[in-house]
Amino acid sequence: MLKFISTNNILKDETQEKALPFLEEWLNTQKNFIYQQTSGSTGNPKIISIAKRQLIASARMTGDFFELSTCTTALLCISPDYIGGKMMLVRALEYGLDVYTAPIVANPIAELSVPIDFAAMVPIQVQTILDQTPEKLNLIRYLIIGGAPVSKKLEEQIQQYQCVAYSTFGMTETISHIALQRLDNTNAPFIGIGKSHFSQKNNCLIVSSPELGIEELITNDAVELISPTSFRWKGRIDHVINTGGVKVFPELIERKLSTTFDSVNFFIAAEQDDRLGQRVIAVILPGMIDAESFKKKCYELLDKYEQPKKLYVVEEFVYLENNKLDRIKTFNSAKYSI
């Protein structure tokens, strides 16, 4: 059984309580599969079964990459209800790591005081840490960041600290991440881990992994394929905006703007337009971003078809339990446009 240690030194640790049902299921010798809902990376969300041997294979692929056999500690600060949290537990079991548990909140390491070898977070957690307690990042040796794109600004900021950070590419169907991008401010591509290899059809990435038993899994991710083992991610095909016959990716627009504005304070979306079919719009938090400055930078940094035709203002962004931005609910809560 895992050794849990609370970073907050509290008797009732909700993160540990969330982990226990999965651990009980995992240690049940009668069960060879777990069931997990997908996030929609390869189609509509659905419940799929994942063999335990696949989770173990995934853990070993990551373990080989980061040499987890030389490590002793891991941090769990993302929900074990989702595949990313479950895989942190499986890696710890496979490599005998002590698991430090932290609250599943925007700044999970505010109370951390000991070194951690391996941790996983979502971008909003890393950005909040950089804003509030950046020195705490020096306690983490390896940090993987997933669940949403990493902004250019965040990538640049994290270079100032000792932790070695990677952006992840993966989904429930690939048993968490299957490719990693070193965040060293060089526009490095994603590199497949283990024996993973990639191809492409209609601009969409196709994933294969002998270790995981995956053969030509078609994703909804548009990429620039560099080699059979590497690619650059452009965005989600289902997020593509067709404006006047020109296709633009919200994620690429957000990355351009993230050199000036924190990506946790805005996002790019689309709405219907009688003339263009769709028009690009932006949703901002007015207390964090000045609307006129945002408009000016959009004009300076973006191509003609990428420039938002309207700014929508919301009081707050809506997040799912796994800390992913709920773009639809947030946009629907817009109070007014500029």
Average pLDDT over residues 220-238: 94
Average pLDDT over residues 301-328: 88
Answer yes or no: is pLDDT of 337 > 90.
no
Q: Do 187 and 268 reside in the same domain of the chain?
A: no
Q: Do 59 and 139 reside in the same domain of the chain?
A: yes
Answer yes or no: is pLDDT of 40 > 80.
no
Domain that holds residue 205: 4-236
> In angstroms, rounded to a whole number, what is the distance separating the alpha carbons of residues 321 and 319?
7
Average pLDDT over residues 125-133: 94
Average pLDDT over residues 273-289: 92
Higher-pLDDT residue of 331 and 56 is 56
User: Phi/psi at 147 (nearest 5 deg)?
Assistant: 95, -20
Q: Do 229 and 280 reside in the same domain of the chain?
A: no
Share of residues in the chain with pLDDT > 70 (%): 96
Q: Which of 185, 203, 236 is the C-terminal boundary of a domain?
A: 236
DSSP percent split of the chain into helix, strand, coil, nearest 5: 30, 35, 35
Q: Do 184 and 208 reside in the same domain of the chain?
A: yes
Q: Which of 202, 236, 270 is the C-terminal boundary of a domain?
A: 236
Answer yes or no: is pLDDT of 41 > 60.
no
Work out how many domains the chain is built from and give that number: 2
Q: How confident is the model at residue 11 (pLDDT cuts 50, 70, 90)?
A: low
Q: Do 135 and 266 reside in the same domain of the chain?
A: no
Q: Do 230 and 295 reside in the same domain of the chain?
A: no
Q: Record the tokens describing residue 183, joined without a space.
A: 């965040």
Higher-pLDDT residue of 90 and 287 is 90
| Per-residue model confidence (pLDDT) at position 294 | 95
| Per-residue model confidence (pLDDT) at position 186 | 85
Average pLDDT over residues 252-275: 92
Q: How far is CA 61 from the centre of its chain?
A: 18
Answer yes or no: is pLDDT of 328 > 90.
no
Higher-pLDDT residue of 149 and 92 is 92
Q: Do 199 and 271 reside in the same domain of the chain?
A: no
Q: How confident is the model at residue 4 (pLDDT cuts 50, 70, 90)?
A: confident
CATH number, domain containing residue 284: 3.30.300.30
Q: How confident is the model at residue 44 (pLDDT cuts 50, 70, 90)?
A: low
> In angstroms, rounded to a whole number, what is the distance separating the alpha carbons of residues 260 and 152?
9
Q: Do 127 and 74 reside in the same domain of the chain?
A: yes
Q: Which of 215, 236, 257 is the C-terminal boundary of a domain?
A: 236
Q: Do 162 and 309 reside in the same domain of the chain?
A: no
Mean pLDDT, rounded, of the chain:
91
CATH number, domain containing residue 214: 3.40.50.12780
Q: Do 61 and 191 reside in the same domain of the chain?
A: yes
Q: Do 196 and 256 reside in the same domain of the chain?
A: no
Q: Do 220 and 250 reside in the same domain of the chain?
A: no
- Total-model pTM: 0.87
Q: Looking at the DSSP assignment, which residues form a beta bridge with residue 140?
A: 116
Q: What is the three-class DSSP state of 42?
A: coil
| Per-residue model confidence (pLDDT) at position 203 | 86
The CB density around residue 294, as the number of other CB atoms within 10 Å, is: 21
Give the DSSP H/E element, type plus range, for residue 202: none
